Amino acid sequence: MSSARQRAYLEAMGITAWVARNQPVASGNGPLLAEPAQQQVAADWTALQAQVAACTRCELCEGRTRTVFGVGDPEADWMIIGEAPGAEEDRQGEPFVGRAGQLLNAILRAVGLRREQVFIANILKCRPPQNRDPKSEEVERCMPYLHRQVELVRPKLIVALGRVAAQNLLDSTEAIGRLRGRVHAFGPAAIPVIVTYHPAYLLRSPLEKRKVWQDLQMAVSVAEAAE
């Protein structure tokens, strides 16, 4: 296992002190410790997940079965972001399960990725009633969790699935057809963002899969350029 991957798992376990990535590694008589001012405070995924699970920032907490935090590699190069949990996601506490999840898995495999190699999350962590679009106040109160996840994962690329995810990530009102086909940027780190259609939409409009393939080819090129 790589040292970087080991660090990610240590962080998830709540081990809070580790050598910064830019510091030299062990040599000679033992591990070289970083100066206190240069040490990085580990990302506590367990604490963040607990915050999400106990969240009451908006009315969606009243009707949820489970929060849907996200799944995948906490050190992934690709981050996949959708809209909000559906009924099955609410039951299982995992994003993109059921038919839409199976299609997303197939889309990822088409570009040589497994579900376990990316990190998958949503704009909202709780299911809106009847799968309606998120309200602006719900997004405003839930987005800090997603921002923190992006900070922890530090992906090379974000793929936004569907209009709601794309518009909220990019603070845009443009239609998804206009957001597709170009590279956007997210956050202070200007992480590249590729916009494509949501798997649930593809189940209703399978002819649009060709466009998703084009989007994913662009995503692969952007990710390779970032290496």
Asked whether residue 98 is domain-assigned, the answer is yes
Whole-number Cα distances in Å, 28 to 17, 24, 31, 32, 161: 21, 12, 8, 9, 49
Asked whether residue 112 is domain-assigned, the answer is yes
Q: Which helix or strand (DSSP H or E) is residue 40 part of?
A: strand 40-41
Mean of pLDDT over the chain: 85
Question: Is 227's pLDDT higher than 60?
Answer: yes
Q: Count how many domains the chain has.
A: 1
Asked whether residue 59 is domain-assigned, the answer is no
Asked whether residue 157 is domain-assigned, the answer is yes
- Number of CB atoms found within 10 A of residue 22's CB: 8
Asked whether residue 164 is domain-assigned, the answer is yes
CB 180 within 8 A of CB 195: yes
Q: Give the pLDDT mean for 44-70.
A: 94
**pLDDT for 45:** 85
Confidence of residue 3 (pLDDT cuts 50, 70, 90): very low
**pLDDT for 32:** 40
Confidence of residue 29 (pLDDT cuts 50, 70, 90): very low
The three-state secondary structure class of 36 is: helix
**pLDDT for 162:** 97
Could you report the per-residue pLDDT of 116-129, keeping only the tens digit for each? 999 999 999 999 99
Which range of residues forms the domain containing residue 131? 67-225
- Number of CB atoms found within 10 A of residue 3's CB: 12
Question: Is 167's pLDDT higher than 90?
Answer: yes
pTM recorded for the entire structure: 0.81
Asked whether residue 60 is domain-assigned, the answer is no
Asked whether residue 217 is domain-assigned, the answer is yes
Residue with token string 């008589």: 29
CB 216 within 8 A of CB 112: no
Domain of 164, CATH number, reads 3.40.470.10
Question: Is 37's pLDDT higher than 50?
Answer: no
Q: Beta strands of 123-213 (E only): which ranges?
A: 157-161, 184-186, 191-196
Asked whether residue 219 is domain-assigned, the answer is yes
